[in-house]
Structure 1
Amino acid sequence: TTSGGTHKLVIAWGGIYNLFSVDVSDNGISGVAKEWLKANPKSTGARLLQAMVFDAKAVNLRGEGAASTVDSDIWPKYKKLMIQEKEYLLKNKDIADKDVTWYQEMEMVARNLEDKELLYSTLEEASKKYPAYQNIYIEAMVARLPKWGGSPEEVEKIARMAAEKNKDQSGLSYYAYIWSNAIHYQPELMALLNKRQIVSWDDMLQGWRDRYKQFPSTRTLNNILISSCIARDKDSFVKADKMIQGETERDTWPQGLNYRECQQSFQ
C-alpha cells in the first residue's frame, strides 16, 4: 500500500487502463491486449487487459455523460459488450485465484448490467478470498449509490461488511474509508453525516483514528478535517488542523466543501 493506504495494484491497473484505453482500436488497448495474449496466452495480466478491452469499448460507445444524453440505439450495443466481458471473465475465472482485479472487473460489469445479485455474490466471494483489498468494497459501494439505483442503507451495509472483515487489523478504518468515498462520488450524501442519519459519526471518526495509526499521512488528516467539517465536530477538526500544519490537499476535498470556509466556521 501507499503511505495513504491505497493498494498499489489499484494504481498499477489504473495506470495501464488510462494509458491505453483512450484508443480502443488495434493501435491502442485492443492491439496491446492481442499482442500480449499472442506472446503469452496464459498470462493473467494479458487476459485481464483483454477483459478491460470490452469495458473501454463500452465507455467509448456510451461516452461519460448522464444516461439521458445517450442515444437509445447505443444501449443494446453497450449491454452486448458488458455481457461479452462477463462471459470472458467467467471463462477465465482462474485469474481470480491470482489477481483480485478479476472481482473488481466483475463488480463493474454487474453495475453496468444492473445485476444486483451478481454484484453481491461477487463481493461476498471476493471478501472471503481478499478481505483486505479495499477496492472490492469501493466498486460495490459505487454500484449501490442512490444515483445508480441503490440507497444509503446499502452503502452502510457495504461499509459495515468491509469493517467487520478487517476489524482485527484495522478497527473501523474501512468503515470511514467507504463512507468517505461514497461522499466523494455523491456529495449529496454529506447531508446524512451532517444530520447523523444512517452513517455513524462516532464510528467514522474512530475509523479515521484507526486509519491514522496505520497510515499517519496528510491524506488521512485531510479526510479527518473533511468529515469533521461535515459532521460539525469542532473538537476533532481543531485537533486535526493542528496536526496537519497547513498541508491540505485540495483534490481530496469533495465538491462543495472548502478547507478555509470550514476552518473559519469553527472560529
Structure 2
Amino acid sequence: MRRTGLGYTRRLLIARGAMSMFQRWIAAVVLLVGVVSVVPVRADEHAERAEVMTMVGALMEARDFETLEALAEQYRSTTEARTGSGVFMLTQYYDGVSNYFNTRDRDAVIWNDRAALAEAWWNAYPDSPTPRLVTAQLLANTAWSYRGGGYVRTVPPDRWEAFRRQNAEAFAFISKQKSVAARDPYWYELTLRLGQRDSMDDATYMAIFDEAVARYPRFYPLYFGAVNNFSPKWGGSAEAIESFARHALKKVRRKDRAALYTRIYWVASQNQYGSDLFTDSYVDWPLMRRGIDDVLARYPTDWNLQNFAFFACRALDKPKTRELMGRITAPPDGKAWESVEAYEKCREWAG
C-alpha cells in the first residue's frame, strides 16, 4: 500500500501512541508560525513538503525527541512514505533538520545551543542512527555557515579555510558513525555530499555510491546527489551525467528504470540546465517520456504534470505536451514554469 501525504504522518503518530506529543507539536507550530498549515484536498506539493519541515523544526524546538524518533523510524522503514508527487518523507525530515540549523547564523551562542540539543538527543537515544545524523548535519551546516551562500569568487580566503577545516571535521565524524548511522540511508547521502564538497575523487565517490544503492536501491536521493557531483558546475560534464544515469539504471529493477531516468534528468534540469536541458545535455527524450508515464501512473499530481508538460514542450514533443496540458487542473506553478507566459505559450503551441 502506498503511504503518502501528511495524513499518513499523523496516523503514524497516533498509531505509535504519540497523539499527545502531536498535540504539543500543533501548539508549537502555532507559536512558531502563528497558524497551523493544513494541506488541502488537492494536496499542494510545496505545502506538503513545507509542513513536514515545519513539523520537524517545531518538534526540535520543543525537544520532543520521542516523536522525532518515531517519525524518523517510520520514514526510513519503508520506501513508500512519500509526498503526493513521490518525494521521500525521509528527505523532507532531514531537510527540516538542516533548515533548523540555519546556516545564515554565525553567532557562537546559537551554534552552542544547537550542539547541546544534538547531544541531548543522542543521550536520550544512544542506539539510534538519527541523533548521529543530526549531529553530522549540525557539523556540515556549521561548515557552510563559514562559507556562506555566495559565488565562489565572493568567499574570502579565511572563510574558505574555516569551511574546509569544518567540512573535514564533519566528514571524519560521520565516517566514524557508519556502523550505527548507516541503518538510515541518509548516512550515505550526507557522506557523499560532504565528500563532494571536499573534492572526493570519482573512484572513491562511486565506490560509496555503489555500496549505498546496493543497500538502498530505491532511495532516490542517493542518485540525485550524484547528478550534482557529475554536473558541469561541480567539474563534471554532460557526458558524465549521462554515463552516470546509465550506470544508475542497472541498480534498480527493470520496471523502475525509465522513471528513475526521468527523475535524474529532472534534477539535472533543476540544478544545472534549466530550460536548456534538451540542447546542452545528452538526455534521451524517448526514455524520459516513458519514465514520465511510469511516474504519473503512481503519482498523478499537478506538480508532476506541470513539470512534465514543461519538459515535453522543451523537447518539442507537441502530442505529449498537449496530452499533459490537458490533464492539468491547477493554475500555472511558478516553480515548474519559467513564467506564466511560458506556460501559456506552450499551451497555445500544443493546441
TM-score (normalised: structure 1): 0.90
Q: Measure, in 2, the Cα distance between the counterparts of 1:92 and 1:256.
A: 47
Pairing partner for 2:164 from 72, 79, 97: 79
1:15-164 correspondence runs (5 A): 15-22=96-103, 23=105, 25-27=111-113, 29-116=114-201, 117-164=203-250
Letter in 2 for 1:175: Y
* Mapped pair 1:217 → 2:301: yes
Letter in 2 for 1:131: P
CA contact 2:127–2:180 (8 Å) conserved in 1: no
- The secondary structure found in structure 1 opposite 2:250 is helix
CA contact 1:163–1:173 (8 Å) conserved in 2: no
Of 95-104 and 234-243, more deviation after overlay is shown by 95-104
Give a deviation string over 1:55-113, Cα, whole Å, max 9, x none: 11111100001110000122222111111111111111113541000001011111101
1:115-264 correspondence runs (5 A): 115-116=200-201, 117-187=203-273, 190-194=275-279, 198-253=282-337, 258-264=342-348
Give a deviation string over 1:166-186, Cα, whole Å, max 9, x none: 243424001010101111111
- The secondary structure found in structure 1 opposite 2:149 is coil
Shift in Å at residue 246 of structure 1? 4.2
CA contact 1:170–1:211 (8 Å) conserved in 2: no
Give the % identical residues: 26
CA contact 1:187–1:254 (8 Å) conserved in 2: no
CA contact 1:33–1:50 (8 Å) conserved in 2: yes
Structure 1 residues 256 and 174: alpha-carbon distance in aligned structure 2, compared to 1, 3 A threshold: farther
Shift in Å at residue 264 of structure 1? 2.9
CA contact 1:221–1:240 (8 Å) conserved in 2: yes
Q: Measure, in 1, the Cα distance between the counterparts of 2:259 and 2:289.
A: 9
- The secondary structure found in structure 2 opposite 1:193 is helix
Q: Measure, in 2, the Cα distance between the counterparts of 1:192 and 1:130.
A: 28
CA contact 1:175–1:204 (8 Å) conserved in 2: yes
Letter in 1 for 2:239: E
Letter in 2 for 1:237: T
CA contact 1:82–1:113 (8 Å) conserved in 2: yes
Give a deviation string over 1:22-78, Cα, whole Å, max 9, x none: 455122x32221221233333311111111111111111000011100001222221
- The secondary structure found in structure 2 opposite 1:250 is coil
CA contact 1:218–1:248 (8 Å) conserved in 2: no
Q: Measure, in 1, the Cα distance between the counterparts of 2:181 and 2:341.
A: 39
Q: Measure, in 2, the Cα distance between the counterparts of 1:147 and 1:257.
A: 28
Letter in 2 for 1:126: A
Letter in 1 for 2:199: E
CA contact 2:101–2:138 (8 Å) conserved in 1: no
The structure showing larger relative contact order (alpha-carbon pairs under 8 Å, at least 6 residues apart) is 1
CA contact 2:128–2:181 (8 Å) conserved in 1: no
Give a deviation string over 1:182-238, Cα, whole Å, max 9, x none: 1111135x435147x511110111111111112122222112201111111111000
Structure 1: 5+ residue stretches without partners? none
Q: Measure, in 2, the Cα distance between the counterparts of 1:65 and 1:257.
A: 30
Aligned length: 264
Of 226-235 and 239-248, more deviation after overlay is shown by 239-248
Shift in Å at residue 114 of structure 1? 1.0
Q: Measure, in 1, the Cα distance between the counterparts of 2:344 and 2:176.
A: 52
Letter in 1 for 2:313: C
Letter in 2 for 1:47: R
Letter in 1 for 2:247: M
- Let me know the Cα RMSD of the aligned residues: 2.1
CA contact 1:55–1:81 (8 Å) conserved in 2: yes
- The secondary structure found in structure 2 opposite 1:115 is coil
Find the structure with the greater CA-based Rg: 2
Letter in 2 for 1:74: R
